[in-house]
Chain A
């Protein structure tokens, strides 16, 4: 696959997502608008109204129905996309488990926004982190370019026959969704060729015949019925296996896409920035990584060995990459844009600290909960993290393992 010529288009994150979906030859979109995802649904419905796509666009009355509709469409073998945020994702919760359990490889963009109450429309990761264990892959973009690229990759990952699991692509509300950025856009045909047509595996039906895994009157099949103590556990084990296999699929799809577009984000699972010789490092998700990179550059100019590990894929968790990248670091700060109330730190902190526990030379770890409800995360706050990490690296002492960053006392 050779690199293709691309156009530079000014797009905000939502429009970048809508354009990617348009190019992916999607059969069905069932969606309900919610801030800050609204532009995606508006823009895509324009494509439909203008006849630029032959997608069936279903206007639904709620996100619960958006997901129910997406699942049933996907069960017929269709390629399906939807989008949501915050309360919309929360309302989908029940159906998200049905999607993963029925092995519906839906792609959904989640424009990350705080959960009510108090009501807040701005960015944090509480919505998607609350769906951590629901069986969906979770990929988070750092910028609108990556949101565009990740949507295209997501169809190929979700529909891969070793995966067949629904996939969320997260992009930070307003920070990315409503901010104009130069986005390199692939030609329609190149995207169409890259994603191809959705394939379905063969399964045994109730008559013992081998039939395609889709709802089709020619080959009647029941998907996701009652499953008690005798088989439910086995089906859950299958989902876990597919999650493990998804790690390799994500890397492969990401590498193939890099050849086509010339763009890559680490290995598709994690992106290490100036981390090789770093003594202190930050781990984060999403657009904050862009600010952290700027701070890392400034610190490097001062001779401070600072680095960044950005988790692009949160589910499945790339444990090996986390371990190999953080081994030998003296102090690591994990930034959580979500709060696990009553827990021992934020959700990302749990994963990172747990992953490095078995390292003989594991780093000292601290957790910063930041940016809830769209609270700004300027470079000076990130500088404060690195200053603390330097102190920890020198003394080997952690005073406060879990802190709130940018919060008024």
Chain B
């Protein structure tokens, strides 16, 4: 969010969004972090599909799953859905 916050006279009515949600980094909500295991992973893309934030992407060049920690909230859905147990949720700072 912006550091200079607007007053009530300067914001749009009805809570209409005047900033893109991409500027709202939700990564700092996270307490558990997904740790990806390249050996176990079959690249089935379930994690990419299930992530509610669109924070898991596949890098075609390196054939790696990439987590965007600006937006990953640590919800653990990717780890829960992974059929290969290739994602482990680890307490932030203990990974």
Q: Do A and B come from one complex?
A: yes
- Which of B6, B13, B20 is the most central at the interface, judged by chain A CB atoms within 10 Å of its CB? B13
B93 within 8 A of A: no
B5 cross-chain contacts in A, Cβ below 8 A? 230-231
Kindly state the separation between the CA atoms of A219 and B62 in the bound complex, as whole angstroms. 38
Query: B1, B7, B13, B14: which contacts A230 (Cβ < 8 A)?
Result: B1
- Which of A204, A207, A237 is the most central at the interface, judged by chain B CB atoms within 10 Å of its CB? A204
Residue on A with the closest CB to B10?
A234
Tell me what chain A mostly uses at the interface: helix, strand, loop, or mixed.
loop
B1 cross-chain contacts in A, Cβ below 8 A? 230
Q: Mark B1-35, 1 if CB is under 8 A from A, else 0.
A: 10001111001111111111100000000000000
Residue on B with the closest CB to A103?
B14
A223 cross-chain contacts in B, Cβ below 8 A? 14-16
B25 smallest CB distance to A (angstroms): 14
Check if A225 sits within 8 Å of B15, measured CB to CB. Answer: yes
- What class of interface size applies to chain B in its complex with A? 10 to 19
Check if B18 sits within 8 Å of A204, measured CB to CB. Answer: yes
Query: B6, B15, B18: which contacts A205 (Cβ < 8 A)?
Result: B18
Kindly state the separation between the CA atoms of A208 and B11 in the bound complex, as whole angstroms. 12
Kindly state the separation between the CA atoms of A203 and B6 in the bound complex, as whole angstroms. 15
Asked if A224 meets B13 with Cβ closer than 8 Å, knowing A230-B5, A234-B8, the reply is: no
Q: Give the number of residue pairs across the A-B interface with Cβ within 8 Å.
A: 64
A207 cross-chain contacts in B, Cβ below 8 A? 20
Tell me what chain B mostly uses at the interface: helix, strand, loop, or mixed.
loop
Query: B6, B11, B14, B20: which contacts A213 (Cβ < 8 A)?
Result: B14
A235 within 8 A of B: yes
B8 cross-chain contacts in A, Cβ below 8 A? 233-235, 237-238, 241
A396 within 8 A of B: no
Q: Mark A232-245, 1 if CB is under 8 A from B, else 0.
A: 01110110010000
Asked if A205 meets B17 with Cβ closer than 8 Å, knowing A230-B1, A230-B5, A238-B8, the reply is: yes
A380 within 8 A of B: no
Q: Mark B50-67, 1 if CB is under 8 A from A, else 0.
A: 000000000000000000
Q: Mark A99-130, 1 if CB is under 8 A from B, else 0.
A: 00111100000000000000000000000000
Q: A213-B12, A213-B14, A234-B7 are in contact. List 14 more A-B contacts (CB 8 A).
A: A101-B14, A206-B20, A221-B17, A222-B16, A222-B17, A224-B14, A224-B15, A231-B5, A231-B15, A233-B8, A235-B8, A235-B11, A235-B14, A238-B8
Residues of A within 8 A of B (CB): 101-104, 164, 201, 203-208, 213, 221-225, 227, 230-231, 233-235, 237-238, 241
